[in-house]
Amino acid sequence: MSNASPPRALLRLMHVIYTAVMYVLTPLILYRLAARGLRMRGYFVRWMERFGAFDDPHIQDSIWIHAVSVGEVNAAAPLIEALRARYPERPFVVTTVTPTGSDRVRQLWKDRVVHVYLPYDLPRSINRFLDKIQPRIAVVMETEIWPNLFRLCDARNIPVVVANARLSDKSLRGYGPVRPLAAEAIRSARFVAAQSPQDAERLLALGARPARLRVVGNLKFDMQVLPDFFSQAQIWRRDWGAQRPVWIAASTHEGEELAVIEAHSRLLHRYPDALLLVAPRHPERFKPMVALCRSFGFATKTRSEDAHADEDTQCFVIDTLGELVRFIAAADIAFVAGSLEPIGGHNVLEPAALGVPVIVGPHTFNFEEVTDLLLDRGAAERIRDSEHLADVLQLLLGDTLRREQMGEAGCRTVARERGAVERTLEIIGRVLRDEDEPGADASDARPVVVD
């Protein structure tokens, strides 16, 4: 497929049409925001921030990091901490799109960073936003490629670094009629730090400049494993019943909840004392998840109301944010959800880093490379459906040695792949110093792996 750009006049016309469509769709976007607010109250507040209207923080030359939701915030956290340590004199701005991402930013940094929602991709809104935060650099996490945002940053000479960049085949195909604008946006980036060679190839196919693209690895490999994760896990396991089998279903979605509960129901026939920890991905699913557990007759408690499970608890719903990793550390096995339905899966590296065996469903295209890596190295198992999930759970819970081997393989894999934070930090430093990135010539069509 050719990466040739359309004529400039055609691109300008496409920008005009795209922006006009965005303005026409704004009432529908607000309606959707209000509809989501019926399920999660956080969507009802701070609407004006989504149009670039917020109190002026009176800062300049800020380092701005955008992370769409809680998963991206968690991935960005080690990088943000490293940047804050290296550039203590600079103000930091962290933007998100979702209320859960916003809550996570405030939980991690409180008022040590400026936090607002990223405005919609409308020129006036973006210009208001940029006028107030005055960024020296923009670090955009993963796949947030917005045509007007990138164009206006380029016009203001604000360098954009796309960090932890990933692009699935589905996303590449999904750009449709706006693909030329997305291609122009990614070409305007000062640097694209890709997670994997496969991501780099797809980003090249989209239009990234080879001389500005490197494979630096996945920031999520650099997650901190704190000793208190395991000390807390030991306390919880003692309270739950030290010898009982415990598994966690992490980041479940609506279409997967019934499958998880059915798998647990079958598991209880073999292990009557088994405990399920279940963490819905979205807060609006907290109460329905509790209701579903209780509809099966399971003795159910929640983190928000009961704080702890006990020896009689069969299902414990983690209906809080920011605690998932601690509960994963307390489990014998982690099923990483978002993978039974065609959602694309979620972060499999958290349980792997903690030495917890991983189970995934058939749909892991959002984390294809890291999931395949864990599968290849014996740290994970793939299942087909809820019945297969129950079978694999029974198999692993009955084989302590196998679980230990999978956990050790996960720890080794994560340890071997660490280093993306330091490599990304160096790239950002070069951009801030206005240094040219050495490496491939612009005519070179292959991404370079940074060692």
DSSP helix/strand/coil, 435: coil
CA distances from 78 to 35, 57, 75, 224 (A): 34, 24, 7, 8
Number of CB atoms found within 10 A of residue 188's CB: 18
| CA distances for 111 relative to 57, 91, 95, 99, 416, angstroms | 12, 11, 13, 17, 35
Judge whether 344 and 362 are in contact, CB under 8 Å.
no
Number of other CB atoms surrounding residue 155 within 10 Å: 11
CA pair distance 193, 223, nearest whole angstrom: 18
Which residues partner with 191 through β-bridges?
161
322-327 contacts, C-beta under 8 A, 24 or more apart: 322/70, 322/103, 322/104, 322/107, 324/250, 324/251, 324/279, 324/350, 325/223, 325/229, 325/350, 325/354, 326/229, 326/232, 326/233, 327/236, 327/248, 327/277, 327/279
Q: Tell me which residue has tokens 């955008």.
A: 66
CA 30 to chain centre: 24
**SS3 state of residue 80:** helix
Say which amino acid occupies 284.
E
* Residue closest to 366 by CA, chosen among 187, 256, 220, 248: 220
Please, which residues bridge with residue 116 across strands?
Answer: 95
Residue positions annotated with a catalytic role: 72
DSSP 438: P
